[in-house]
Structure 1
Amino acid sequence: MKAITEALRSGTQLAEDYICSRDAARGLYEYDIHWESGLHARAEWLNQSENTRVNRQNLVEYLRIYNKRLNDHEAVHHSISRLAEEGTFVVTGGQQSGLLTGPLFVIYKAASVVAAAREAEATLQRPVVPVFWIAGEDHDWDEVNHTYLPDRNGEMTKVKLHGRFDGRNSVSGVEIAVEQWMNVLEQVEHLLPDTVHKPGLMEMLNRIHQSSSNLSDAFARMLSALFGNSGLVLMDAADPGLRELEQPVFERLIRENTSLREAYLQGASMVQESGYSMPAEVAEDGANLFYIHDGARLLLFLKDGLYTDRKGLVSFTEERLLQELGEHPERFSNNVLTRPLMQDSVLPVAAVILGQGEIAYWGLTRTAFRQFGLQMPILLPRLSYTILEDVHHKHMNQYELSFQDVQYRMEEKREQWLAGQETFQVKEQFEQVQQTFAELYRPLLDQLAQIHAGLDRIGETNLRKINEQIQYLEKQTQKAIMDKHEVGLRHWNGIQNSLFPMNKPQERVHNALFYLNRYGTKWIEELIENGREFRGQHQVITL
C-alpha cells in the first residue's frame, strides 16, 4: 500500500480547528489532539475513577454473551478476557448499522479503533482493547437501508433494502425477512464483476444475512468477518442486555436532568461565544433522552415538571419515569448529547475515535462530563482515505489531473480538454452565426412592420423558430463531438465516479464490497498496520 497526504474538504469549522489545535477550539475539549502527551494523564484519571463506571465484571459478562452470538473469534474472546482485568482500558468508536456495512468510512472508523488501541497499548505498556459501538438505537431507517456500488460502466448504483417500515422504531428493532436480504444480495451479485475473490465473498454475505433477522445483527456479523481476527469487540447500544447494565446510569441521567440540561446549555453558549455555529440542537426544555413507545422512539422534554414528547403521546412524573426505567430499561435510549456520558460510564475509555461531525458536537459536552463526575476522554479523528485504482491513476496522469483538480475543478478541466480536442469552436461559431443572421434579418422585420403589423408578429415568431433551430443544431454538434470522444469522456467519468461520486468524497458513498471483491481483505489489515497517526489528515492510497 502506498499513500500520499492530500487535503480533503472538511466538515465543520469547529472540528477543523480542534484538529489543527487552534486556540478558539481548545477550551471546549479536555485534551489536545496530540494524544500521546495526554495518554498517561488519562490513564491516571481512569485508574482513580473505576467506581464511576458500571461493574467491570458485569460488563465483561455481557460482552461475552453478545460477542459469542455475533462475533465469535478467539482474538475477540481474548480481548474480553483482558478487559476483565482492572487497569485494562479501551479505545472505542461507533456507528449506526448500515446495509452491507454502509459507506467506506465505517470500515476506516473500525480500523482506526483497532489501530489506535494498539498504539495506546504500546505507549502505556498496559492492555488496551478495541471496542466498537453499534448505534442500533438510531431510528433513521431511510439513512441506513441502502448503499452504493458501481455498475459495470462505473456509474454509481443504489442497492436498497426494500420493504415497509412504519413508525420510528430503532434500527435494531426492525425485523427483516430472508427474502428481503436475498433481494439485496441478488443486486450485489449482479453489480460485482467476476474476480477470484467473488465466490468466497458472496458465500460470506449469504451466510451472514440468512442468519440475521435485523440490520444491526447483519452489520455486527459483517464487522466480525472483517475485524474479528484483530480482536475488535462489538456491542449494540440497543441490546436489551446492555440496557439492563446501563439502568443505573439512566437513573442518574433522570435524577440529575436539570443540572445536566443547564450544563449542555452552558456548553452551547461556550461554543457560540467561541465563534462557532451550533453542531447539534440543545433545547432549553430538552431531557436529552428517548423513550420507546409502541415501536416509536420519542424524544423527551420537560414541561411543567413532566417528561413528555412534543406530541404528548407519553407523560411521566420523575417518580413514574424512574419506575418505568426499573421495570423496562430496554425502553430508554440516549440522544446525541447523553451518549458520550453513557459511553464513559460503561467503558474505561482512554480515547474515542470520531468523525468530524461527532468531534463538533462533543464540543458541547465538556461541562456535562464534569457535572456528571466524569472527564471527557481523548478525541481522535478517524483515519480518512481515498482509494486510487491503477486505471484511474493512469488516466489522471494522461489528462494531467491532480487530486485537487478532481475535487474542485473537474467540470472546468473536462470542458477545457474537450474544447482542445477540436479546431471547430462550437460555441463561438454558432454565436457568430446567430449574431450575423440577426443583423441581416432585423432590418427586414422593421420594413415588414411598416407594411402590416401582422407581418411583424409573424416575422418575430419566424426569427424565434430559426434561432431555436440554430440552437438545436449547436446541441447536436456538441453531442457529435462528445460521441467522437466517448472513450476519453468515459475516462473522465470513471475518475469522477471513483474519487468523488455524486460530488462527495469516495469514503462517504462507495461501499467496501467493491474493493473486497477486487483485492480481498488484506488491505484492511494494512490500513490497521499503517494507521499510526491520528491528526485528521486525508490520504490517497493505492492497493
Structure 2
Amino acid sequence: MNIIPETLRAGSALAEDYVEGTGRVLELYGYHFRQAEDYKTRAKRLDEMEAQRIDRQAVVRCLRIYNEQHNGHAQVMESLNRLSQPDALVIAGGQQSGLFTGQLLVIYKAATIIKAAQEAEQRLGRPVVPVFWIAGEDHDWDEVNQAYIMTSTPDPVKVRLRYQPDRRNSVSYIPLSPVHKEEVLLELERLLPDAEFKAEILQQLRTAFMDTEHLSDAFAKMLGHFFGRYGLVLLDSADPALRELELPVFRRIIESNDELEAAYQAAAQRIEAAGYQLQAEVAEGGANLFYINKGERLLLYKQNGIYGDRRGQVRFTKQELLEELERHPERFSNNVLTRPLMQDSLLPVLATVLGNGEISYWAITRQAFEVLELEMPVLLPRMSFTLVEPNVRKYMEAFGLTFQNILEGLEPLKDKWLSAQDSFHMEEEFVAFRQELFRLYAPVIERAGQIEKGLVRLGEKNRDRIAEQVDFMEKRVRDALVRKHETALRQWDQIGTSLLPLGRPQERVYSIYQYTSRYGDRLVHDMMSLPLDREHLHRTIYL
C-alpha cells in the first residue's frame, strides 16, 4: 500500500470547523479530540458518574449473549471480560445495518473505533473497549437495503433485496425469507467480476445470510468476520433484552420530555445564531421517541399533554405512556436526538466515532445530556479513505491526473483531453467557419430586406438552417473523434466510476465486498495496520 493524505471537504461547515478546532464551535461541544487533556478529564467524569448509568454487569451479560450468537470470537469475549472491570471505558460508534455491510464508510468507522480504543488505552493506562452500535431500531428500509457494485457499465449497479415491508418497522424486526436472501446472493454473484477471492467471499456471505433471519443479524456476522479478531464488541440497539435494561432511561426521557425539548430548541437556536445549518430536525412538540404499534414504528409528538403520532393511531397521556413503558418496554425506541443519551446511559463512553453529518447534529444534544445529568463524550471523526486500484492508478498517470484533479471535476478535464487529440483543430475550424458564415450572410440579408422587408426573416431562417447543418457536421466529426479514442475514454470513465461514483466519494457508495473479492480479507487487515489519523485528513490508498 502507498498512502497519500488528501483534502476532502466534509460538506458541513459545522463539522469542518469542529475537526479544525476553531474557537467559535468549541462551546457547542465541550470536549475536543485534539485536546489531549480532555480524554483524562472525560475519564475522571465517567468514574464519578458510574452510578448514574445502567448497571455495568447487566449490560455486559446482555452483550455477551448477543455476541455469542453473532460475533463469538475469543477476542470479543475477552473484550467483554475487560468491559466488566469497574475502570473500563468504551470507544463507541455505529451505523445502520446495511446490505452487505452497506457503504465502505461502515468499515472505516469500525476500524477507527478499534484503533482509537487501542490508542486511548495506551494514553490512559486503563482498559478501553471498542463497541460498535448497530442501529437496528431504525426503520428506513430503503436506505439500508442497497449495495452498489462496480461493473463494466459507466455507473455502479445497485443490488437490493426484492422485498418491501408493508410497515415501517425496525430493521432488526423485519424477517427475510430464504428465497429473497438467495435471490440477492445470486444477483451479487452475477455482478461481481471473476476474481481470486470471489468464491470465498460469496461463501462468507451465504453463511452470514442463511444462518440468520434478519438483515441486522447478517450485518453483525459480517462485521464480526472482519473485526471480531480485534475484539470489537457488537450491540444491536433493537435487542429486546437490552430494551429491558433501558427502561429507566426511557422513563427519565418521558418524565423530562419538556426539558429535553427546550434543550434541543435552545441548542438549535445557538447553532443557527453561529451561522450554521441544522443537520437534524428539531420539531416543535417533538417527543423524540418512537412507539412501535402493531409492527409499525411511529414518531411521537405531544400536544396539550397528549402524546401521539401525526396520523392519530395512538394517543397517551404522560401517565399512560409511562404505564405502557412499564408493561411493554420493547415497544419504545429512540430517535436521532435521544440515541446519544441512551448510548451514554448504557456505556462509559470516553469518545464516540462519528461521520461529519453526525458531528453536526450531535451539537444539538449537548444541553440534553445535562438534563439527564450526563455529559457529551469526546467526538472523534472517523477515518476516511479512497481505494485506488492498480489499473486506475495507471490510467491517472497516463492522463496526468491527481486525486485532487478528479475531485474538482473529471468531465471538463476529459473534454479538454479529447479536444487536444484533434490534430486538425477541427473545433477551431468550425468556430471560425460559423463566425464567417454570420459575417458574410449579414450584408446579404440586409440588402435582400431593402428589396422586400419579408426577405429579412426568410434570410435569417435560411442562415440558421445552414448553421444547423454546420452543427450537424461538427457533431459527426466529434463522434468520429470519440470512436477513434473510445478505449482511452473508457479509461477516463473507469477513473470516475471507481473514485467518484455517482459524483460522490467512493466510501459513500461501494460495498467492501467490491474489493475483498479481488484482494481478500487481507485488504481490511492491512488497513488495520495503519496508524490512527490524528490530523483527520482523507487518505488515498494505492493498492
SS of 1:365's equivalent in the other structure is: helix
The C-alpha deviation readout for 1:245-276, integer Å capped at 9, x for no partner, is: 11110001001111111111121122122221
Aligned to 1:413: 413
- TM-fit CA distance, 1:165: 2.6
- TM-fit CA distance, 1:454: 7.8
Are positions 1:81 and 2:81 aligned together?
Answer: yes
SS of 1:364's equivalent in the other structure is: helix
SS of 1:85's equivalent in the other structure is: coil
The C-alpha deviation readout for 1:256-315, integer Å capped at 9, x for no partner, is: 111111111121122122221222111231111111122222211110011112222211
Aligned equivalents of 2:330, 2:476: Cα separation in 1: 63
1:123-138 equivalent positions in 2, closer than 5 A: 123-138=123-138
SS of 1:424's equivalent in the other structure is: coil
Aligned equivalents of 1:465, 1:179: Cα separation in 2: 59
Aligned equivalents of 2:35, 2:86: Cα separation in 1: 22
SS of 2:212's equivalent in the other structure is: coil
Are positions 1:469 and 2:469 aligned together?
Answer: yes
SS of 1:9's equivalent in the other structure is: coil
Aligned length: 543
Are positions 1:197 and 2:193 aligned together?
Answer: no
1:164-183 equivalent positions in 2, closer than 5 A: 164-183=164-183
Deviates further, 425-434 or 329-338: 425-434
- TM-fit CA distance, 1:528: 2.4
Aligned to 1:238: 238
Q: Is the 8 A contact 1:381 1:535 kept in 2?
A: no
SS of 2:529's equivalent in the other structure is: helix
- TM-fit CA distance, 1:329: 1.0
SS of 1:517's equivalent in the other structure is: helix
Unpaired runs of at least 5, structure 2: none
Deviates further, 532-541 or 298-307: 532-541
Aligned to 1:494: 494
Aligned equivalents of 2:307, 2:491: Cα separation in 1: 58
Residue 253 of structure 2 aligns with an amino acid whose one-letter code is: L
Deviates further, 14-23 or 195-204: 195-204
Aligned equivalents of 2:493, 2:122: Cα separation in 1: 44
Aligned equivalents of 1:12, 1:413: Cα separation in 2: 27
Deviates further, 11-20 or 456-465: 456-465
- TM-fit CA distance, 1:36: 3.4
Deviates further, 138-147 or 409-418: 409-418
Aligned equivalents of 2:71, 2:541: Cα separation in 1: 29
SS of 2:165's equivalent in the other structure is: coil
Judged with a 3 Å threshold, the aligned counterparts in structure 2 of structure 1 residues 144 and 426 are, in CA distance, closer, same or farther, namely farther
Aligned to 2:325: 325
Aligned to 1:185: 185
The C-alpha deviation readout for 1:511-532, integer Å capped at 9, x for no partner, is: 1111111111122223223232
Aligned equivalents of 2:458, 2:175: Cα separation in 1: 67
Residue 294 of structure 2 aligns with an amino acid whose one-letter code is: D
- TM-fit CA distance, 1:450: 7.2
SS of 2:528's equivalent in the other structure is: helix
Aligned equivalents of 2:42, 2:322: Cα separation in 1: 33
1:220-259 equivalent positions in 2, closer than 5 A: 220-259=220-259
Aligned to 2:540: 540
SS of 1:130's equivalent in the other structure is: strand
Are positions 1:427 and 2:427 aligned together?
Answer: yes
Residue 7 of structure 2 aligns with an amino acid whose one-letter code is: A
The C-alpha deviation readout for 1:11-65, integer Å capped at 9, x for no partner, is: 2111111111101100011212225322221211111111111111111111111
Deviates further, 238-247 or 353-362: 238-247
Residue 40 of structure 1 aligns with an amino acid whose one-letter code is: K
- TM-fit CA distance, 1:392: 1.7
Aligned equivalents of 2:501, 2:444: Cα separation in 1: 52
- TM-fit CA distance, 1:319: 0.7
Q: Is the 8 A contact 1:79 1:129 kept in 2?
A: yes
Q: Is the 8 A contact 1:90 1:350 kept in 2?
A: yes
Aligned equivalents of 2:17, 2:455: Cα separation in 1: 68
- TM-score, normalising length: structure 1: 0.95
- TM-fit CA distance, 1:441: 4.6
Deviates further, 184-193 or 379-388: 184-193
- TM-fit CA distance, 1:200: 1.0
Aligned equivalents of 1:455, 1:422: Cα separation in 2: 39
Aligned equivalents of 1:444, 1:274: Cα separation in 2: 64
Aligned equivalents of 1:184, 1:450: Cα separation in 2: 73
Residue 324 of structure 2 aligns with an amino acid whose one-letter code is: E
The C-alpha deviation readout for 1:198-236, integer Å capped at 9, x for no partner, is: 111111111111122222111111111111111111111
The C-alpha deviation readout for 1:465-494, integer Å capped at 9, x for no partner, is: 433332222112111101111122122111
Deviates further, 425-434 or 204-213: 425-434
Q: Is the 8 A contact 1:154 1:498 kept in 2?
A: no
Aligned to 2:383: 383
- TM-fit CA distance, 1:542: 2.0
Aligned to 1:503: 503
- TM-fit CA distance, 1:160: 1.8
1:247-286 equivalent positions in 2, closer than 5 A: 247-286=247-286
Judged with a 3 Å threshold, the aligned counterparts in structure 2 of structure 1 residues 168 and 426 are, in CA distance, closer, same or farther, namely farther
Q: Is the 8 A contact 1:291 1:300 kept in 2?
A: yes
Residue 268 of structure 1 aligns with an amino acid whose one-letter code is: A
- TM-score, normalising length: structure 2: 0.95
Aligned equivalents of 1:67, 1:266: Cα separation in 2: 39
Aligned to 2:370: 370
Judged with a 3 Å threshold, the aligned counterparts in structure 2 of structure 1 residues 212 and 469 are, in CA distance, closer, same or farther, namely farther
SS of 2:539's equivalent in the other structure is: strand
Aligned equivalents of 1:141, 1:491: Cα separation in 2: 35
SS of 2:147's equivalent in the other structure is: strand
Q: Is the 8 A contact 2:9 2:16 kept in 1?
A: no
In percent, how many aligned pairs have the same letter? 47
Aligned to 1:37: 37
Aligned equivalents of 1:310, 1:531: Cα separation in 2: 48
Aligned to 1:53: 53
Q: Is the 8 A contact 1:112 1:531 kept in 2?
A: no
